[in-house]
Chain A
Amino acid sequence: MKRRKTKNIVLVIVALLIAFLFLLPLIWMLFTSFKTLSESMSSSTILPKEWTFENYTSIFASTSDTPIIRWILNTGIVTIIGTLLVVFVDVLAAYALARLRVPGKKVILAFVVGALTIPGIVSLFPAFYIFKSFNLLDTFIPLTVTYSAGSMGVFLIYNFLLDFPKDLEEAAYIDGASQWTILRHVILPSIRPVMATLAVITFMAIYNDYLWPSIVVNSNEMKTLTLGIATLVQGSNFVNPARMMASTVIATIPAIIVFLICNKYFVKSATNTGIK
């Protein structure tokens, strides 16, 4: 018993040390954003000696260089519309494939699974070229609709429904309920957890996407936060770690908040995309 207690104490200490290593870059980012330029370049301590809010005020002030409010708005529009679209089309399709007689069901399912094995790079630049040909670069269209082609969500919900008992739906059907009523009042409430999982991982994937927005967006006004940070990292006039960290804090906080609130869905998503 005593040995076990010592073992636990040692483990917790080790776990704490590792936790510190994991949090260190984030803590450093936060405190550096309050340092002055000269201190941020020369400092070897985490905490600032002299605190300043200048980094944050200058980011919000220079609207041509860093239109951060616009980036936040863009990110909100893109992530919300993108996520709603993905969840909408995926839930309907997964329900139809799992429960109804869809013509060509086998072909559709083969494509859904097959597409998962083909890396994104294969469709990326052709898709960019198609949007370019229709003069849709630098609009919200490629930034939102493209994610709906992903088949992971269909796969996720389809598998969930296959394992889910049909009794309730059959009872509703015998009672004369329409397909729509069954979908709305029987299916949707029962798949809510897996829908939430899909919504959370889609939201985070769109929020954090860098490669696709960097291809289809040119103007500063159409950038998302994630893309905006990349521009700042690459920008030659932004050799200021304190200001860089302040903008990174702004871009990171929404993602961390969503992550902490929806932590359990993340853990679930890792399970669901993994092998059972």
Chain B
Amino acid sequence: MQNNKSAKTWAVLLVSPFVICFILFWLIPVLFGIWMSFHNWNLNSGNNGFIGLQNYIEILTPGTLYNDYFISSLKNTLIFVLVSVIPLVIIALILALIIDNLPIKFKPLFRTIYFISYSISVTAVSSIFLWLFNNNGGFINNVLKSIGIIKEPINWLGEQPYAWISILVATVWWTIGFNMILFINALDEVDSSLYEAADIDGAGFMAKFRYITLPSIKNVSLFIVIMTIIASFNLYGQTKLITAGGPEQSTTTLTMNIQNVVQNMNQLGIGSAMAILMGIIMFFITVAQFFLTNNKKSLKEGSGK
């Protein structure tokens, strides 16, 4: 359709604002970050020379200060990924199933209510949950005391596992609606003739869920699991503001650690290397997850019939 020169000029003209922004604010920073990770780069004094892989070696050699930071924050982040992904996916699925089975006139109302907390910023969420869980004058301790469940206040934010529980509750409340919406959309697309056929055969709810719903939403579920792992891996605001990384650094996450290395210790080179390592780990989680689920799928199909 377009074969003249002006069409090409138009194409270049229209695409270039985005390409320029993308190069300036994404591509250059990413490449610059890789470059800095091979240098002894200080936030204030700048480039202090090329050191090859020294930053990476230091981060990955057991016993060094940065190895300690990196490994302990990686461990904390992985703990949160492990404890958060299952509730974030399962509860979202349960909510979606409830909404899917509600009488149609109630659906939009409850969908909106369950989704509303997603619209709030992480700082507002943290502000609310900090004072719900606060050890000193927090609402939850006040309520538990007044109905006689506890005598002494629970140290929600200063003791484990309570600190993780508080972070988890805040995160579930804040983000569950997004996963729920994805599940609702997936449930909407399940072929309804399958359910009708199952009804004729007299199948119960569990049988229908097991043999029709679950297989139909498998792909979306995989996508949601990966998205949730990545989101949990990026945990930052809640632990920064609700527990401030404590108690005893046990909720200091990778992102918090990188920010500390860059902005408080001024080690831009080390920080860049840590960020790249974090990016590589997240990339491999995505890839591994993809292959694992694909294998399962082919196994199931092989033994299914």
Assuming the contacts A211-B255, A251-B121, asked whether A122 and B30 have C-beta atoms less than 8 A apart, the reply is yes
CB distance from A240 to the nearest CB of B (A): 10
Are B127 and A103 interface neighbours, CB within 8 A?
no
| From A121, A130, A256, contact of B275 by CB (8 A) | A121
Q: Which residues of A contact B236 (CB under 8 A)?
A: 210-211
Docked CA distance A96–B276 (Å) = 32
Q: Which among A97, A126, A183 has the greatest number of chain B C-beta atoms within 10 A?
A: A126
Whole-angstrom distance from the CB of A33 to the nearest CB of chain B? Answer: 11
In A56-98, the 8 Å CB interface with B consists of 85, 88-90, 92-93, 95-97
A41 is an interface residue with CB less than 8 A from chain B: yes
Tell which of B67-75, B111-119, B155-163 binds the partner.
Answer: B111-119
CB distance from B250 to the nearest CB of A (A): 19
Among residues 225 to 276 in chain A, which have CB atoms less than 8 Å away from a CB atom of chain B? 225-227, 229-230, 232-234, 241, 244-245, 247-248, 251-252, 255-256, 258-260, 263, 266-267, 270-271, 274-275
Whether B17 and A93, one on each chain, are in contact in the complex, defined by CB atoms closer than 8 angstroms, is: yes
Residues of A with C-beta under 8 A to B282: 119
- A26 vs B95: C-alpha distance in the bound complex, in angstroms? 19
Given B11, B98, B114, B142, which contacts A100 in the complex, CB threshold below 8 Å? B11
Q: Are B10 and A19 in contact (CB under 8 A)?
A: no
Q: List 20 A-B contacts (CB under 8 A).
A: A11-B101, A18-B110, A19-B110, A22-B117, A93-B19, A95-B14, A97-B15, A123-B25, A123-B33, A125-B33, A126-B32, A127-B29, A150-B26, A151-B22, A151-B26, A211-B237, A229-B127, A271-B181, A271-B182, A271-B185
Q: Is A135's CB within 8 Å of the partner chain B?
A: no
Across the interface, which residues of A come within 8 angstroms of B262, CB to CB? 125, 128
- Interface flags for B227-245 (1: CB within 8 Å of A; 0: not) read 0001001101100110010
With a CB–CB cut-off of 8 A, which chain B residues contact A89? Answer: 17-18, 21
Would you give the 0/1 interface string for A118-147, flagging 1 where the beta carbon is closer than 8 Å to chain B? 111111111111101000000000000110
In the complex, chain B residues whose CB is within 8 Å of the CB of A43: 139, 142
Q: For residue A40, which residues in chain B have a CB less than 8 angstroms away from its CB? A: 137
Residue A149 interfacial (CB < 8 Å): yes
Are A207 and B28 interface neighbours, CB within 8 A? no
Number of contact residues on A: which range applies? 35 or more
Chain B residues contacting A232 (CB-CB under 8 Å) are 127
Contacts of B211 in A (CB 8 A): none
Check: B214 CB closer than 8 A to any chain A CB: no
* Most-contacted residue by chain B among A14, A97, A115, A274 (CB, 10 A): A274
A10-28 vs B: 1/0 string, CB under 8 Å? 0110110011001101101
A120 to B110, CA, bound (A): 33
Docked complex Cα distance between A110 and B20 (Å): 16
Number of interface residues of B (CB under 8 A): 97
- A100 lies within 8 A of B2 (CB): yes
Given contacts A97-B15, A117-B283, A126-B32, contact A15 B98 (CB under 8 A): yes
Chain A positions within 8 Å of B25 at CB level: 123, 127, 145-146, 148-149
Known: A23-B116, A266-B119. 5 other contacts (CB 8 A): A25-B132, A125-B268, A179-B10, A229-B124, A252-B120
Closest to A170 in B: B1
B23, closest chain A residue (CB): A149
**What residues of chain A lie closer than 8 Å to B10, measured between beta carbons?**
96, 100, 179-180
For A245, what are the chain B residues with a Cβ–Cβ distance below 8 Å?
127-128, 131
Which residues from A are CB-within-8-Å of B120?
A: 208, 252, 255-256
Is B99 part of the binding interface, using a Cβ–Cβ cutoff of 8 Å?
A: yes
Q: A22-B173, A93-B19, A149-B24 are in contact. Are A44 and B145 (CB under 8 A)?
A: yes
CB pair A92–B98 under 8 Å, yes or no, is no
A32 close to B (CB within 8 Å): yes
Min C-beta distance of A187 to chain B, whole Å: 11
